[in-house]
Structure 1
Amino acid sequence: MNHYDRKASEVRQLLDGGTPPSAPPELYEEAVRRGGRMLRRRRALRRLLWLMLLVAAIAFVVWASVEQPWVEPPSETTPPLTRW
């Protein structure tokens, strides 16, 4: 019997058996505590990323309104006068 067959037979025995073994009661409380902390961290990270995106968009709008990159810069030399 190879490793895969042995594992498959162990899984079949667990599934065919009666009630599953119960988890310790403190395990539920620990999972709820960790899950809540994980959700709070994700929410804070998501809010931070949205805030950074908003700040970047505002900075771009301010820069574009001050610099006006779509306007052609004025010419620094004058065209030559030929008909005098």
Structure 2
Amino acid sequence: MDYEVFPRRWGYGQIITSPIKGRVESINVESVEKVREQQLLVMIRAEQGDVKQILIGISGIVEKLTVKVGDKVVRGDVLLFIKED
């Protein structure tokens, strides 16, 4: 199942948070990378074993990643910051 993340405002950018509890399986973007709407950002393996895809609902530039592969996350943890273009 895919999740589209609706980001929260943070100054001139957006905060992308985890919609589920689990472990970061893969990160498909890097800092300073341009991203577009509907692009896959992160995959998180939920505690039940399902892998969830985190998609972006905006376009912009990745300002900062706050997680790495293998990190445990809970609902609401910040995954990355994006500056809208």
Between structures 1 and 2, the one with greater strand share: 2
TM-score (norm 2): 0.15
Greater CA radius of gyration, 1 or 2?
A: 1
TM-score (norm 1): 0.15
Between structures 1 and 2, the one with greater helix share: 1
